[in-house]
Structure 1
Amino acid sequence: MVIRYLPRPSSVSTAALALGALVLLSSPAAATDVPAEPAPPRPLPAYSSALLDRPGVQVRPGPGAPGLPSGVSALAWVVADAQTGEVLAARDAHRQLPPASTLKSLFALATLPRLDARMQHVVDEHELEDIGEGSSMVGVAAGRTYQVSDLWRGVFLSSGNDAVHVLAGLNGGLDTTVRQMRVKARELGARDTHVVSPDGYDAPGQVSSAYDLAVFGRAGLADPQFSSYCSTRTAKFPAGGWSYPIQNTNRLLTGADGVTPYPGLLGVKNGYTSHAGSTLISAAQRDGRTLVVTVMNPQAGGGRAVYEEARSLLDWGFAAAGKVGPVGSLLPPPKADRTGPQPAHAAGKAALSAQSDDSDWPAMLMVGAGAAALLAGCVVVVRRRAATVARRTRAGDRGD
């Protein structure tokens, strides 16, 4: 007698066995025999669409959310959570506008780590050349010796373009510094910024955005040196054998010129040129929460408007905590996405991808489940063959 083995399963029967095995594996009995691995939690995206790419005001109010402040006339603004990077509301976040001296925040991010704050330097006359007419100055003079930390206070408090030029010279020159600032902006996911001059002085083609300025402010708060300088209200600046007081030009920090100081303000940087208008990066902390607000070029209200509009947006941001859904993120895109040309408004979409970088796990899980089902089908076939052999052997059908 010849033992008749089961025929080799066709692709159709294999699929049927795999499907049957998958059903068996998902049944309570199969779960008891072989405990299933818990599925990894899939992170929820911070926002569902690239709202920041759209023009106009973007906000996602939830139950009990306060209304946005009226009378904010700035061409562009952003309110963001500094810890999470979530953008709570914005207007024309990616609109490219001249940044004025708020661009000094990017200069600091790119240059601070490269210069020893304790280093002494004698200023040469050529380091003070090519400073734009009408620039803000702290009073750096050729032939005098300055510590690098003094020059940084001149940058942050007095917005001194003379101090910027000397520091850029120590960093390898203006051209080198501009290249480094461009690279730093791309590393941070700031795609709207084009640097021409490191001091933020008006120059053809030099632009940034409310979104990018918020990125720079958030990054600066994470740097101890940066955060220390940008929150300093007053200091003394050396002048040979003596020194003179300097005060931070951020009126929201100091309360100068009739502007009431904002409680919990951490800085960051203000700016003004006739072309850019007033610009401001501000950050404040309250009840363990830190917000970054950027305001670019208010169209009404005079010289104090940039501070009062930032104040109202900060107030709204703290009141809206937990009551609004984010409309975007300040988080940088994945590193792979930062190489090569990118559209100016890709940061929001890339941040969404960054938060879902394990999005392939469902496919991997399906592949694993399919493999497990196929293996289970093979086990069923083997067991059936063995049972057939045993049954026929007991009946005397031994074979040759």
Structure 2
Amino acid sequence: MCDSARLSRRTLLALAVAAPASGTRPVLGGDRLARDTVQVGSTTGLPRRLTARSWLVADHDTGHVLAAYRAHLRLPPASTLKMLFADTLLDRFPRDGRHTVTAADLAGIPAGSSLVGIRAGTTYTVDQLWQGVFLRSGNDAVHVLAHMNGGVARTVAEMRAKARELRALDTHVVSPDGFDHPGQVSSAYDLTLFARHGLRDPGFRSYCRTRTADFPAGGGERFQIQNTDRLLSGTWGLRAYPGLIGVKNGYTSHAGNTFTGAATRAGRTLLVTVMHPADSANAVYEQAAALLDWGFSHGAAARPVGTLVEPVGEGRGTAPSPTSGFGAGGTVAGGTVARGPSAGRLVEGAGTAVALLAGGAWALRRRRTPVRARGRHRE
């Protein structure tokens, strides 16, 4: 962390006092995103049955939020938090690196977690571990990678720093896997930021759109794993959504179903996040698909109701399309995509630090949504 970020508590309090009064303080991305009613720039065709507690649809390239409902409401994120885990660690280890799993790597995984089936004593490539994270939402794969990174506590600290770098001020990380823990929250706005940032990385895009992969079973045997994203795989009574890129789904008995997705149609890419719909397990996907349909049909004519902010230190309007770098058939073409500062690093510059801390002071004053006891984690 650079010196400009090491401001004293007195400075932080001064910034808080200098911030606007509670009734007029700014909301990250725009004041309309904090309202408890549907915000939309066009009344044409918006889906009528949207039971989610929070949702958002945005244009990936411009960052314009086209429609939203309680976008900053803090809710348990379930496994969609793994997008932030990937944003933080994905480039940390070479994909062809190998790691032999120990019992210590698998210690502390919450009971009821979703698992890919990692076994102590078996050697896995980093690529295979990330397949376990993205396709099967495996908490065992998350914990192995976290231990490779120096431990769960260090990884949580780096994820918190990454969230600040991405200006995801609604998010509080307690564990790297998204399992229900008291105080672990995010928002539709922040989850969309995580997806947008991740899609700028070719590896992230490749993993989140992979439907199946062969996974080591130990003893030289392998088995097939399938992506649990039902809009990608077209399973459980749903059709695969045309042009879907990914990104991540999640479920716990407390959080309910959560989903952040991205799709491209006619050269335009939209992002959607849906949190905690009141209906069946498929509702999160059905409502996400309906919002994507609306965005592709009517979103171009909609006036933005807010914007997705850029990470600290990244310029506006320079982000590549999430589909650039894809060859025919969804393979990753050559080349690199620029990313923001490394995890936990704040960009130098007093103006940037003041803006970040002012936003942090505002976020600390916001009332958190209480989180109840933990539940089962299935996706």
Tell me the distance in 2 between the aligned counterparts of 1:345 and 1:293.
26
CA gap of 1:87–1:246, structure 2 versus 1, over 3 A, is same
1:228 alignment partner, SS class: helix
CA contact (8 A) 2:262 2:270 kept: yes
Answer yes or no: is 1:82 the counterpart of 2:60: yes
CA gap of 1:48–1:306, structure 2 versus 1, over 3 A, is closer
Which TM-score applies when normalising by structure 2?
0.76
Tell me the distance in 1 between the aligned counterparts of 2:294 and 2:163.
28
Q: Which residue of 2 aligns with 1:58?
A: 39
CA contact (8 A) 1:94 1:345 kept: no
1:72 alignment partner, SS class: coil
Counterpart among 113, 116, 121 of residue 138 in structure 1: 116
Tell me the distance in 2 between the aligned counterparts of 1:100 and 1:314.
22
Code of the aligned partner of 2:40 = V
Q: Which residue of 2 aligns with 1:188?
A: 166
Code of the aligned partner of 1:112 = L
Tell me the distance in 2 between the aligned counterparts of 1:345 and 1:139.
39
Code of the aligned partner of 2:36 = P
Q: Which residue of 2 aligns with 1:344?
A: 363
Residues 35-92 of structure 1 deviation map (CA, whole Å, 9 limit, x = unaligned): xxxxxxxxxxxx995211222211122xxx6231011100000000111111100000
Counterpart among 194, 204, 226 of residue 226 in structure 1: 204
Percent of residue pairs identical: 58
Q: Which residue of 2 aligns with 1:176?
A: 154
Code of the aligned partner of 1:243 = R
Q: Which residue of 1 aligns with 2:266?
A: 287
CA contact (8 A) 1:192 1:345 kept: no
Code of the aligned partner of 2:32 = L
Q: Which residue of 1 aligns with 2:368?
A: none
Answer yes or no: is 1:158 the counterpart of 2:139: no
Tell me the distance in 2 between the aligned counterparts of 1:243 and 1:157.
16
Q: RMSD over aligned Cα, in angstroms?
A: 1.7
Q: Which residue of 2 aligns with 1:396?
A: none
CA gap of 1:97–1:48, structure 2 versus 1, over 3 A, is closer
CA contact (8 A) 1:118 1:148 kept: yes
Q: Which residue of 2 aligns with 1:245?
A: 224
CA gap of 1:83–1:70, structure 2 versus 1, over 3 A, is same
Code of the aligned partner of 2:224 = P
2:363 alignment partner, SS class: coil
Tell me the distance in 2 between the aligned counterparts of 1:129 and 1:333.
34
1:321 alignment partner, SS class: helix
CA contact (8 A) 2:214 2:225 kept: yes
Counterpart among 64, 75, 96 of residue 118 in structure 1: 96
CA contact (8 A) 2:73 2:187 kept: yes
CA contact (8 A) 1:88 1:325 kept: yes
Shift of 1:333: 6.6
Q: Who wins on radius of gyration, i.e. which is larger? A: 1
CA gap of 1:48–1:198, structure 2 versus 1, over 3 A, is closer
Q: Which structure carries more helix by proportion?
A: 1
Q: Which residue of 2 aligns with 1:235?
A: 213
Answer yes or no: is 1:106 the counterpart of 2:105: no
What number of residue pairs does the alignment pair up?
296
Tell me the distance in 1 between the aligned counterparts of 2:160 and 2:115.
24
Tell me the distance in 2 between the aligned counterparts of 1:130 and 1:223.
30
Counterpart among 258, 270, 273 of residue 252 in structure 2: 273
Residues 184-225 of structure 1 deviation map (CA, whole Å, 9 limit, x = unaligned): 111111110000010000000000000001101111111111
Tell me the distance in 1 between the aligned counterparts of 2:81 and 2:264.
23
5 Å-filtered alignment, 1:210-225, equals: 210-225=188-203
CA contact (8 A) 2:29 2:309 kept: no
1:175 alignment partner, SS class: helix
CA contact (8 A) 2:71 2:187 kept: yes
2:57 alignment partner, SS class: strand
Shift of 1:114: 1.2
Code of the aligned partner of 2:125 = Q
Residues 75-132 of structure 1 deviation map (CA, whole Å, 9 limit, x = unaligned): 0000001111111000000000000000000000001121111110000101101111
Q: Which residue of 1 aligns with 2:286?
A: 308
Unaligned runs of 5+ in 1: 1-46, 347-400
Code of the aligned partner of 1:343 = W
Which TM-score applies when normalising by structure 1?
0.72
